[in-house]
Amino acid sequence: METLVGKAKVLHEALPYIREFHGKVFVIKYGGSAMTREELRESFAKDVVLLKYVGINVVIVHGGGPQISTTLERFGIKPRFVGGMRKTDEETMHVVEMVLSGDVNKDIVALINRHSGEKVYAVGISGRDGRLLRAVKLNKERYFREIGLPPPSEDVGYVGEIVGVNVDLINSLIERNFIPVIAPVGVGEQGEAYNINADIAASEIARYIKAEKLIFLTDTEGVKDEKGELISSLSESKARELIEKGVIREGMIPKVKSALKALESGVRKVHIIDGRIQHSLLLEIFTQEGIGTEIVHLQT
């Protein structure tokens, strides 16, 4: 009986959050171990379906870097990186699009639909569909300068940055009770494909559709302080300070920079959470304590 009462208390704890977020839109960047370990994949899919059934609209933007590298090697193409960014020539771009818009995207859609029942469906789309993610070639000098690194001299190829999002397409899918699952492939003026960083794509989509929350599923606990301890709540000003001090560094910089840009455009909160924990989405959204780092508008 004690166990049953405990389960009831958990539901009661979630009630205020369900009430607060009913009808709101969450953008979730899905990547890392949560995409590759079977028990985490199942956990993620069930969490997404639960969110939808309690009235929270979910938009998923996924990565797929390891899968791209594996496929490139299978085709005899050596993956190359410039300043931590995948060098994407025409041949590589073809594989990127094949893997992201094909294999990875449809696998996620099938996974969610296996748990979704009769009234909720995931639908997979590429950023090229309906000109969803309009893009231009990345300004690498500006990009690397913004994350505090010297721009590489080498051309990065078909790596793009988003200049527009087809908000009507996303809203139409949400209104019809679909869960959009978006592959981060952009489309240029002439219809050419661009490889878009999934963190940045998720941030831009959240920004354009004015999402309530932007959530990054990562292979880290969240943002850590100078002592290596998890920061549960972080203001915009403190985040900028930690970047300047070099406390936030390497792969966490683009995530936090993307978070700050999203907050400036009206997204209410950004969460960076550990996707290696089962049901991490529910633990972060529906509990007071949470499990990762939330970045908020509060000033220090």
Determine the average pLDDT of the residues in 172-190. Answer: 96
Q: Which residues contact 18 (CB under 8 A, 6 or more apart)?
A: 54, 55, 56, 286
- pLDDT at residue 5 above 50? no
Quote the pLDDT of residue 126: 96
Q: Which residue has the tokens 């059934």?
A: 53
Quote the pLDDT of residue 9: 67
The full set of domain ranges for the chain reads 13-296
State how far the Cα of 111 lies from the Cα of 115, in Å rounded to an integer. Answer: 7
State how far the Cα of 202 lies from the Cα of 57, in Å rounded to an integer. Answer: 15
Task: Identify the DSSP state of 298.
Answer: -
Quote the pLDDT of residue 152: 82
Query: Closest Cα to residue 71, out of 41, 106, 103?
Result: 103
Three state DSSP letters for 52-96: HHCCCEEEEEECCHHHHHHHHHHCCCCCCEECCEECECHHHHHHH
Strands 121-126 and 213-218: unpaired
Rounded (10°) angle between helices 65-74 and 90-97: 120
| pLDDT tens track for 88-136 | 999 999 999 999 999 999 999 999 999 887 788 999 999 999 999 999 9
> Domain spanning 13-296: which superfamily?
Acetylglutamate kinase-like (3.40.1160.10)
| 8 Å CB contact between 60 and 28 | yes
Determine the average pLDDT of the residues in 201-207. Answer: 95
